[in-house]
Amino acid sequence: MLLAIDVGNTNLTFGIFDKNDELVSSFRVTTKLPRTSDEYGVLILNMLVAKNIGAGDIEDVIIASVVPGIMHSLTSAVIKYLCKHPIIVGVGTKTGLKLPVANPAEMGADRIVDAIAGLELYGGPVLVIDFGTATTYDLISADSEFVAGITSPGIRISANALWNEAAKLPEIEIKKPDSILAKNTVTSMQAGLVYGYIGQVEYIIKKVREEAGLTDMKVVATGGLGRIIYGETDMIDVYDPDLTLKGLLLIYKKQKR
């Protein structure tokens, strides 16, 4: 079995793939809580036990991370508790993605992984949108070349700014209200956040398609709150919540271990 780990700014997501490349289990924990290597090790072992998987069943580990500060503890945990030296996605990793940019190291590992998954699973040209802490849009050509990327504040960042910077606005659940014609503070905030974000997403997709001249461009989305947006627009072709984990599997298979 392969253990794939996606280290994001908000969550660590763990995915377990069997010998048939099927995602048989996944779980997530918060990233922001500081942990030692032993704490990570025990957490991973306990999660595996809860899924009826033994530590010895894990044959290899691959990690993509945008949080350098936890990598020493996490990597040490994998080595100590699973007895595996993980593949860390980064500069030098075989991905198949062409990056004609001045500094490829500046591109987050998660964006590379998502780009590979979007292209190989759904075909290109493809615009991959990841609704994470930040919302990222990456355009990949049919011949595996990174064309352009856009980054905007994520929905939750926008929401946090709203209630943290305005003294009288409460913290709310992020969901689409029944109508944009809001009658109270909570639904007015929900309307502004969700409908406003739908508008942003649709406009960015439209401009990317227009400026790139790609009428046949597919749009693939992933990330926690992406499900809300996907359900409210016909401009996103596919919503795949496990896109990053699937991308880690694809990149793993390109390596010679």
The three-state secondary structure class of 44 is: helix
Among the options 6, 110, 114, 138, which is catalytic? 110
Query: Which burial class, exposed, middle or buried, applies to 55 when counting CB atoms under 10 A from its CB (0-12, 13-18, 19+)?
Result: middle
85: which residues sit within 8 A by CB, 6+ positions away?
A: 78, 79
Closest CA to 228 of 188, 176, 161: 176
d(CA 181, CA 183): 7
In angstroms, how far apart are the furthest CA atoms of the chain? 59
Based on the residue annotation, tell me whether 234 is a catalytic residue of this protein. Answer: no
Question: How many helices, marked H, and strands, marked E, lie in the chain?
Answer: 7, 10
17: which residues sit within 8 A by CB, 6+ positions away?
A: 1, 2, 4, 23, 24, 245, 249
- Residue positions annotated with a catalytic role: 110
